[in-house]
Amino acid sequence: ELERLSNLVGKPSENHPLHNSGLLSLDPVQDKTPLYSQLLQAYKWSNKLQYHTSLASGLLNQQSLKRSANQMGVSAKRRPKAQPTTLVLPPHYIDDVINRIDRMFPEMSIHLSRPNGTSAMLLVTLGKVLKVIVVMRSLFIDRTIVKGFHENVYTEDGKLDIWSKSNYQVFQKVTDHATTALLHYQLPQMPDVVVRSFMTWLRSYMKLFQAPCQRCGKFLQDGLPPTWRDFRTLEAFHDTCRQ
Amino acid sequence: MGVTCVSQMPVAEGKSVQQTVEILTRKLELLGAEKQGTFCVDCETYHTAASTMGSQGQAAKLMYVMHNSEYPLSCFALFENGPCLIADANFDILMVKLKGFFQNAKGNKIESRGTRYQYCDFLVKVGTVTMGPSARGISVEVEYCPCVVATDCWNLVMEFMQSFMGSHAPGIPSVFSNKHDSIYSPADTIVQYMELFNKIRKQQQVPVAGIR
């Protein structure tokens, strides 16, 4: 008799369009456990996800095809040429470029050192206003930190401190702007021009505390002097006045 | 250590010293300055003793021995218009030993005490100047910490002082104009305090009614 009953129970489940999960909807305790509705939602969600991924993969495939095609064509020719000239430069050439810049600006003194291998580190002292630590990779500037003229730029063991920031808000702001300038002055074919234009821009901070803002005409805004220098005209602006 | 300007704020009409200080500090707090404890600058006066004076009958010189809570380990000794000596704090004990040459003018001790505020890179110290038991005036010290050349940032400091002192912002201190492009030192601050204290000493005592 048990066999007869079990046959009766087994048959309707096979006919159901959602197969075994469809039985969940027949469960009388559905009001208490929202299992069935959750199941339906999960099903819809995974359906949508599949649809979107197929669209996205279609789009990405188009793009990646183009880019890889570009790389194929260009990298083979340009890479071996461009990289050796800009990334691997002899140290005496770098010394030479830095020396020339040092002589160009009398109010700026540049001290070059190589504490860790071939990468040069510059300590730039601008008048009696500020000091800048410049970390170079070949002739590319990797990182700059601006500090006050009387702030300590060395760690306890006498090395240049390239990690800690200035104690003063003004110089923290100028550090941010200097980092922006690094990204702005880019010319991979002529790295010495980049360093020179960066230093020219940096030199405009000589009058950090003396120049009023070119837009609002005031010295202070939120307690800070005009910390921004325009990349082309080198005019002084407050951070919020420059737009 | 940055460039510092010390000035005197006149007591507002119909107000006591205390009330004027409160008005000033409230303005600073509205500006966004944060309170950072207290400060104190004191000054003791010494006469050159009669026995050490030359036969030419020169006038007795005054020497000032001052302390500044910003430099707690130092002691400043200076003549008017003369050199300023920066020594360790136990210089005071040495002065006791030099009694034969320099005599302490008792009751001439003058000091300024008050609250220290920080606003961005500025340090502002508003103090009550007291001589003996009576309050004689208000001192306002503004320090712009990132800069070391006084004439470079004077306009900037001036603009800041005007923002909370209004028309009472001072003119350029005389120590600034003598410095040209050289680096500002803590001794220049102490000289400004000495000049301020001397000015206040000479002033008429504030009417007693104005003091609480």
- Global pTM value: 0.76
Of residues B1, B120, B149, nearest to A128 (C-beta): B149
Sequence-distant contacts of B171-175: CB under 8 A, at least 24 apart: B173/B5, B173/B6, B173/B7, B175/B150
* Alpha-helical regions (H) of A88-168: 91-104
- Reported as a pLDDT band with limits 50, 70 and 90, residue A39 is confident
Q: What is the pLDDT of residues B138-185, one digit of tens each?
A: 999 999 999 999 999 999 999 999 999 999 889 888 888 887 788 999
Most B CBs within 10 A among A220, A221, A239, hence the mutation to make, goes to A220
Q: With an 8 Å Cβ cutoff, are B160 and A149 in contact? A: no
Do residues B72 and B184 lie in contact, with contact meaning Cβ atoms separated by under 8 Å? no
Report CA-CA distances (Å) from A197 to A106, A179, A184: 16, 14, 10
Q: With an 8 Å Cβ cutoff, are B121 and A223 in contact? A: yes
**Residue A108 neighbours by CB under 8 Å, 6+ apart:** A102, A124, A125, A126, A127, A199, A202, A203
Shortest Cα distance, chain A CAs vs residue B101, angstroms: 38
Most B CBs within 10 A among A107, A209, A222, A238, hence the mutation to make, goes to A209
The per-residue pLDDT of chain A, averaged, comes to: 83
ipTM: 0.86
- Beta-strand pair A108-113/A236-237: unpaired
Phi (first) and psi of residue B154, to 5 degrees: -60, -45
pLDDT at A24: 66
Of residues A210, A218, A224, nearest to B120 (C-beta): A224
Q: What is the pLDDT of residues A145-156, one digit of tens each?
A: 999 999 999 998
Which residues in A lie closer than 8 A to residue B159 (C-beta atoms)? Answer: 218-220
Q: Which residue of A has its CA nearest to B149?
A: A128
Return the H-helix or E-strand segment holding A188. Answer: none
Name the token pair of A107: 């109010």
Of residues A150, A212, A223, nearest to B120 (C-beta): A223
The HSE-up count of residue A191 (CA atoms within 13 Å, CB side) is: 20
Which residues in A lie closer than 8 A to residue B122 (C-beta atoms)? Answer: 223
pLDDT of A95 strictly over 70: yes
Q: With an 8 Å Cβ cutoff, are A169 and B121 in contact? A: yes
B1–A contact, CB cutoff 8 A: yes
Most confident range, picked from A8-12, A60-64, A65-69, A92-96: A92-96
What is the distance between the alpha carbons of residues A162 and A144, in angstroms, rounded to a whole number?
8
Q: Checking phi first, is residue B47 left (phi over 0); if not, alpha (psi -120 to 50) or beta?
A: beta
Q: With an 8 Å Cβ cutoff, are B146 and A168 in contact? A: yes
Do residues B11 and B138 lie in contact, with contact meaning Cβ atoms separated by under 8 Å? yes
What is the distance between the alpha carbons of residues A69 and A76, in angstroms, rounded to a whole number?
11
Q: What is the pLDDT of residues A164-219, one digit of tens each?
A: 999 999 999 999 999 999 988 888 788 889 999 999 999 999 999 999 999 999 99
B160–A contact, CB cutoff 8 A: yes
Percent of all residues in chain A with a pLDDT value above 70, rounded to a whole number: 79
What residue type is A54 in one-letter code? S
Q: What is the pLDDT of residues B54-103, one digit of tens each?
A: 555 566 678 899 999 999 999 999 988 778 999 998 998 998 888 888 88
What is the distance between the alpha carbons of residues A87 and A89, in angstroms, rounded to a whole number?
6
Q: With an 8 Å Cβ cutoff, are B160 and A223 in contact? A: yes
Do residues B140 and B126 lie in contact, with contact meaning Cβ atoms separated by under 8 Å? yes
Closest CA to B126 of B134, B136, B114: B114
What is the distance between the alpha carbons of residues A178 and A204, in angstroms, rounded to a whole number?
12
The three-state DSSP-derived secondary structure of B108-174 is CCEEEEEEEEEECCEEEEEEEEEECCEEEEEEEEEEECCCCEHHHHHHHHHHHHHHHHHHHCCCCCH
Residues of A with CB under 8 A from a CB of B: 128-129, 148-150, 168-171, 209-210, 212, 218-220, 222-225
Shortest Cα distance, chain B CAs vs residue A222, angstroms: 8
Shortest Cα distance, chain B CAs vs residue A164, angstroms: 16
- Beta-strand pair A228-229/A140-148: unpaired
Strands (DSSP E) found in chain A: 108-113, 121-126, 130-137, 140-148, 228-229, 236-237
Report the SS3 class of residue A82.
helix
Shortest Cα distance, chain A CAs vs residue B51, angstroms: 45
Of residues A129, A150, A209, nearest to B156 (C-beta): A209
Closest CA to B48 of B24, B70, B80, B25: B80
DSSP label of A186:
-
Phi (first) and psi of residue B50, to 5 degrees: -60, -35
Q: With an 8 Å Cβ cutoff, are A128 and B183 in contact? A: yes
Shortest Cα distance, chain B CAs vs residue A167, angstroms: 9
What is the distance between the alpha carbons of residues A21 and A36, in angstroms, rounded to a whole number?
8
Shortest Cα distance, chain A CAs vs residue B144, angstroms: 10
- The residues pairing with B141 across neighbouring beta strands, listed in sequence order, are B6, B125
- How many CB pairs below 8 A link A and B? 51
- The residues pairing with A133 across neighbouring beta strands, listed in sequence order, are A123, A145
- The CA-CA-CA angle for residues A99, A150, A208, to 5°, reads 75
Most A CBs within 10 A among B4, B156, B158, B163, hence the mutation to make, goes to B156
Q: Which residue of A has its CA nearest to B181?
A: A128
Sign of CA dihedral B83, B8, A208, A136: positive
